[in-house]
Amino acid sequence: MRIRHFHVRPNIPKELAPLEEIARNLWFSWSWEAVQLFIRLNPVLWEQSYQNPVLMLGKIPQSDLEAAAKDESFVAIVEAVYRSFQEYRKRPSWFQEAHGGDAGARVAYFSCEYGDRRGAPIYSGGWGFSRATT
C-alpha cells in the first residue's frame, strides 16, 4: 500500500505572482511595506499563519486572491514593493562593500541563540566568527 501526499495550494493570479518571491525571502521581514501587503491580503490569516507569508499563501482562499488581483490599488502596491525588492537585490551586500576584493575568502559565522520573527523561528547556537583566506 502506498500513501501519497497531495498539497493543494491556491492558484496565485499573475497580477500577484511577485508575492511568492517576496514571501520566500527574509527581506519581507524588514520591509514594512512588504509585511503590509500580506496583512492587507488577509489580516486574520496573517496572524493565524504566525506572520509566515509562505504558509499564508499556501492557505489563503482562492476568492481572496481573485479579489486582490482585481483591486487596482493593491496590484499597484504589489508592483511597487516588488520593484523595491528587486532594487534591494541589485545592491552590493555589506560583505561585498566591506571586503569586495576578498572574492576567495571563506567565512564562517556562529551566533548565539536568536529568533528572527514569529514567522521564521530560527534558533542557532554557538558563538564566534572565523575568517580564513586561502
DSSP designation for 17: T
pLDDT of residue 97: 84
pLDDT in tens, 94-109: 878 887 767 677 777 6
Which residues touch 33 (CB under 8 Å, ≥6 apart)? 77, 80, 81, 84
Mean pLDDT of the chain, nearest integer:
84
pLDDT in tens, 54-69: 999 999 999 999 999 9
51: pLDDT strictly greater than 90: yes
CB of 28 within 8 A of CB of 34?
yes
pTM of the complete model: 0.73
CB of 35 within 8 A of CB of 29?
yes
| Distance in angstroms (rounded) separating the CA atoms of residues 80 and 89 | 14
The residue assigned the cell 517576496 is 22
CB of 15 within 8 A of CB of 69?
yes
